[in-house]
Amino acid sequence: MTRKQINSGTSKQLHQELDMHQVEQEIQNKKLPTAQEKLTISRKRYFELNELVRKRTEQLEEINTALNVVLKKREQDARNMEEKISANYQTIVYPFLDRLRNTPLNSGQHQLLNLIDTNLRNILSPFSTKLSDPLIRLTPSEIQIASMIRQGLTNKEIAPILNSSARTIDTHRANMRKKLGLKNKKINLKSYLSHL
C-alpha cells in the first residue's frame, strides 16, 4: 500500500467519522429544541384550556342567573294567580253557596252543598297540589271518594251522594289502597289522605 492510499483511506475514515459525529450532534441539537417546543406547546394549551374553562364558567353563571330570574318570575306569577282565584272564589262563588245554604235543603242536599264548598276550598289550598301527585293514578270517581273519605264520610254516607251502593264504594276504596301502595298495610286510608 502506498502512502497516498493510506492517507486516502485514513482521510475517508476521518471524513466518515466526522460526518457521523456531525449527524449525532445535529440529532442531539434537534432533540433539545423539540422538548422545549413540546413544553412551550403544552403550556400554551394549558393556558388556552384555562381560558376556555373560565369563559364557559362565566356563561354558565349567566345562564344560571337568567334561570333564577325566570323561576322567581314564575313563582310570583303562580302566587298572583292563586290570590286572584282565591279572591274570585270569596267574592263570586262563596256568596251563592252561602245563599243556597240558607234555603230549605234536606240532609242529603245540605251534605252535598258542604262537599262542594269543601272541595272548592281544597282546590285553592296546598292540599290540592299535594293531593294531585299521589292521586294522579286514581280515576275521577276515586278522587271524589278520596275527597269525601278525607272529610270523614263513611261508605254508607258516600254511596247516596254518588248514587252508588256501599259495596261499590268499598270496591273503590280497595282499588285506591292498591294504587296508593297501601294494600296489606295497616294504614288507615282517611289518615293517609289527610296527611297528603
Q: What is the pTM of this model?
A: 0.41
Cα 25 from Cα 27, distance rounded (Å): 5
Same domain, residue pair 66 and 121: no
- Among candidate residues 82, 112, 134, the one where a domain is terminated: 82
pLDDT (mean) for 50-72: 91
Contacts of 120 (CB under 8 A, 6+ apart): 89, 93, 97
In a domain, 162, yes or no: yes
CB of 174 closer than 8 Å to CB of 185: no
Please give the full DSSP string across 51-118, using - where no structure is assigned.
HHHHHHHHHHHHHHHHHHHHHHHHHHHHHHHHHHHHHHIIIIIHHHHHHHHTS---HHHHHHHHHHHH
Which residue in this structure is represented by grid cell 272541595? 119
Same domain, residue pair 60 and 137: no
User: Residue 170: what residue type?
Assistant: D
CB of 146 closer than 8 Å to CB of 138: yes
State pLDDT tens for residues 11-60: 667 667 767 767 676 666 655 556 777 778 788 888 888 999 999 999 99
In a domain, 16, yes or no: yes
Whole domain around residue 150: which residue ranges? 104-196
Note the pLDDT of residue 69: 92
In a domain, 115, yes or no: yes
Assign 61 a pLDDT band (cuts: 50, 70, 90): very high
State pLDDT tens for residues 141-156: 888 888 889 888 899 9
% of residues, the chain, pLDDT over 70: 79
Number of independent structural domains in the chain: 2
In a domain, 23, yes or no: yes
Same domain, residue pair 118 and 153: yes
pLDDT (mean) for 192-196: 79
Say if residue 127's pLDDT is above 50. Answer: no
